[in-house]
Amino acid sequence: MVQHRSRSFILEEKSASYDETLDQSALPNLNSNWVYNKGAWFIHIIIILIVKTLFSIIPKVSSETSWTLTNLSYMLGSFVMFHWVKGVPFDFNSGAYDNLTLWEQIDNGAQFTPAKKYLTAVPIGLFLLSTHYTHYDAFTFLVNFTFLIIVLIAKLPQLHKVRLFGINRL
């Protein structure tokens, strides 16, 4: 399933075979189309607000901690949903998307589409907001920033169908 590129740590998924392209085009990809549905963008903000409120109302939790926790939950959640889980949960395309993450399925792998731009802007905005409202010490800042960078790297067009160090290859 995976193509090795001259012993480097960059492992690339093979491009789709004839059968795969056939199955992929048999039905629209219902797994990734929802990113353009009504409210699919707004729900991110609502979820972030809910998560932030939940963390804030816990007694004795400082604003730094609640922002860090909000940041981490959103980054982790979106990383798992968009960049870790592969394939389609239902049998729509006879497994033709089994090797692709949701991010790679969105817009049939096209880059810099509106949905992808929005989904990149949200974590950046969330991080900037959180640094603004808090006085992070070096450690918490680093934790927040690292998670943001991991999420952003996964979204880069250069990493389309690429499995760095073979992570999440199988």
Partner 1 sequence: MSLKNVNYVESGISMTLKARCWRLRAFMTKHHRNKEFKMDNTAYPALNELFVFLNTTLTNISIFYSRIPGSGILLKYIKNSHQNDPFRTVLEVMLLVFGIIYLYKNKYRTDNSFIELTPKEIEDLVEEWQPDPLLPKITEEQKRELDKVPIINGSTGPRVKLMNGKTVMNLGNFDFLGFSINEHLKEKAIETLRHYGVGSCGPPGFYGTIDVHTEFERTLSEFLGTEGTILYSQGFSTIGSAIPSFCKRGDIIVADEGCNFAIQKGIQISRSSIKWYKHNDMKDLEKILQKIKDEDIETGRRLTRRFIVTEGIFENYGDISPLPKLIELKKKFKYRLILDETFSIGTLGKRGAGLTDYFDVNPQEVDMIVGSMCHALHSSGGFCSGSFEITDYQRISGPAYVFSAALPAMLAVCATESLLHLSRNPYLPATILSNTKSFKNALSHVKYIKVEGSLDSPIFHLRLNDDVIKVDSSDEKDKLLQEIVDEAMNNGILLTRAKYLRSQEIFDVEPSIRICITASFTKKEIEKAASTIKNVVNKVLKNKIR
Among positions 47, 56, 94, 159, the unique one binding partner 1 when judged by CB under 8 A: 94
Contact 12, 165 (CB under 8 A): no
Segment lying near partner 1 (by CB under 8 A), choices 3-11, 35-43, 53-61, 93-101: 93-101
Residue 63 contacts partner 1 per CB under 8 A: no
Q: Which two tokens stand for residue 53?
A: 């409120």
Spatial CB neighbours of 154, under 8 Å, sequence gap ≥ 6: 79, 82, 83, 103
The values of phi and psi at residue 54, to 5°, are -60, -45
Binding residues for partner 1 restricted to 98-157, rule: CB under 8 A: 98, 108-113, 117, 120-121, 124-125, 127-128, 131-132, 135, 141, 145, 148, 152, 157
Q: Report the chain's C-alpha Rg in angstroms.
A: 18
Task: Report the alpha-carbon distance of residue 145 to residue 67 in Å, rounded.
Answer: 12
Per CB under 8 A, residues contacting partner 1 are: 16, 19, 21, 23, 91, 94-96, 98, 108-113, 117, 120-121, 124-125, 127-128, 131-132, 135, 141, 145, 148, 152, 157, 160-161, 170
